[in-house]
Structure 1
Amino acid sequence: MNRTSVKNLRKYGDLPFNLAVIHGGPGAPGEMAPVARELSAFRGVLEPLQTAVILDGQVRELREILEKHGSLPVTLVGFSWGAMLSFIFTARHPQLVKKLVLIGSGPYEEKYATNITKTRISRLGKTFSA
């Protein structure tokens, strides 16, 4: 397996790099590395590491990485916050994304957020209940 790294990007496998795994967090760089390693047996994988502190910066950073290093359009595999970032990125730049895979994404509709909040509160001890 070929693995190379630049400032905020890790590459796994060989060209073409037509798949990118997007980590959660923000602040969880590298958590998608095991997924990238496994997938690199079948195709080239990019693992961008978000460093920007605002959403627009993360979208811009991802676009720059994919345009410079990816074989466009790419498949994005986003986990947790990375799923939400991938969803937002795809909405803004649909021409750069072939497929979108969301894992452990937060809700996109308020009705689902309400159910999640109730579930989380029910799991807390009596000290924390609302």
Structure 2
Amino acid sequence: MRAEDGIRYIKERNEKEQMLEMEKAVKEQELAARKVQALEDKAQRENEKAERTLKKLEEDAEKNKAEEALARERKWLDALAKGKKLKGRMPRSLQASQAVSQVASRAPSPELNDEMDLVESEEDFDMMD
């Protein structure tokens, strides 16, 4: 019976060691999984921060661009009001408004329109003869 007890003791000891090794492996695996998750979370936070920073930089760039365009328009408007001629290209927004004002200033007056209609009707009448 002593040999059987010894074999059983060795068997139980080996099973305990295997169980401890398996538990240790499971704990290490869980720890590794938590570390991986922590790294993924950190990377996600960094990406979100980078996106917010990029968005802010884009908004700042748009704001600066709009402010610069407004300053150029004011400069041109001041020069036009003073009758000065600036070098460079006039901003397109002012080019459009200048074109509208020039067309409006070239439009004939209502009295002139009446006279032109009279002349045209006389020409039509002469052509009929």
TM-score surpassing 0.5?
no
Instruction: Determine which structure has more spread, i.e. the larger CA radius of gyration.
Output: 2
- Name the structure with the higher strand share: 1
- Name the structure with the higher helix share: 2
Higher RCO (CA-CA < 8 Å; seq separation 6+): 1
